[in-house]
Amino acid sequence: MKKKLFLLGFGIISSYLLSQNGGVGIGTTSPDASAILDINSTNKGVLAPRIALTSTTDTTTIPSPATGLLVYNTGTAGLSFAGYVFWNGSEWRSLNNSSLTIGTIGNLLCSNATLSPETYTQNVPYSGTLTIPYTGGNGGTYPSQIISSNGLTATLQAGNLATGTGNLIYNVSGTPTVSSPTVTNFTINAGGKTCTASVGIKNTIGVGSEIYWYGTAPANVGSGGLNATTTVPQNYMSYYAPDMPVIEGVRLDIYFIDNVTASGTVSEMIRLVNVSGANVKVNFSLLSSFNSFGASNVWLGNGQFINLDNGNYNGDGLNMTTSSTPQSIPDTTILEFQNEITTVHLTINGHWYRAEFFTVIDNNNTTATNDDIRRAGIVIKRLK
């Protein structure tokens, strides 16, 4: 019996070697001097206790856990996170010290979603990212998510929310079944909030951002009269300035309805043209220095347009040149019906924009009208 006990004790001592500095070695005869426990193996690992914790503050499953206690949480009880966790003195946390509290979000801002690259082409493989901003994050965890739409798949890896503002970043890949600017909608669920991100639209701008446009065209073109139904290419400002603003597939344009022949000519109108390749719903309210118009739930097919007013005053004014006799202008009545400035509030795909149009007629320093030049500027700001 004594011989058997001796052999057992010898085997234990052979497996666990205690160095002179107090360190224990397993699988090594010379534990590192800096380690209290040095384990060496080429084909085995360390298996920590596997525990089913019920919450991030569970002190019942393991009573009075010591600060720094390390376990593997199976995720089969109330704490769904599966992986190594440690007790920090007040809660269980992941090894990177991230909170394991279920993530919550104050606001999920799908209206500010961005796709990069922003456009895609039917039957052409796509790879990019979808970014969804949020506010009011609590630093908690969120699960992975996979969403598919129009042949594209957006994948979100599990992770932790920021505390406050942050972004959810999805990897997007696949072969789209449609081409931009046809919209692709992704339903986003995160932090207790749900929203729909509409992407693939050309020429979107961020909330608070502005774009500025300036262009010229001859003043001696125009036809169709007030409330014109015509679509003569040469009557569009975009015919002479093809870089006119296009917002979410809708071109903001100026249509010329008459030649400029006098000071009070009603010569043009503000027009929206759907160039998206798909149907688009718009709402607008227009206020100019002379009148106002507005409409809601306007459903435009591709290539269709809506006139935002019945015509703008834009003439050659007093038609003075550098050869004219300079004079003061005390009588403002002669300045009436000269130029008109227009402000439009517009919503497209739930996004709110404000656009300001200002056009003048440059007489080209002559009193003739056949060489007059239209000069137009547009400022567009996204408000939501």
3-state secondary structure of 366: coil
| pLDDT score for 9 | 43
| pLDDT score for 180 | 78
- Name residue 353's beta-bridge partners: 346, 382
Count CA atoms within 13 Å of residue 371 on its CB side: 6
3-state secondary structure of 310: coil
Read off the pTM.
0.54
Each residue's pLDDT expressed in tens, for the chain with a length of 384 residues: 444 444 444 444 445 555 556 678 898 888 888 988 899 999 999 999 999 999 999 999 999 999 999 999 998 998 888 899 999 999 999 898 888 888 999 999 887 788 989 889 999 999 999 999 999 999 888 989 999 999 999 999 988 899 999 999 999 999 999 887 678 889 999 999 998 888 886 666 778 889 899 999 998 999 988 888 999 999 999 999 878 888 888 999 999 998 887 766 788 889 999 987 778 899 999 888 778 888 889 999 888 999 998 877 776 666 666 778 887 877 666 556 567 788 999 998 888 999 999 988 888 888 887 888 989 999 999 998
| pLDDT score for 4 | 47
| pLDDT score for 18 | 57
Q: Distance between CA 285 and CA 296 in Å, rounded?
A: 8
CB atoms within 10 A of CB 248: 23
Domains and CATH numbers, the chain: 14-94 (no CATH), 107-199 (2.60.40), 210-382 (no CATH)
For 324, the token pair is 């004219």
Does residue 117 have a cis peptide bond before it, meaning omega lies within 30 degrees of 0? Answer: yes
| pLDDT score for 337 | 55
Q: Distance between CA 372 and CA 366 in Å, rounded?
A: 8
| pLDDT score for 74 | 94
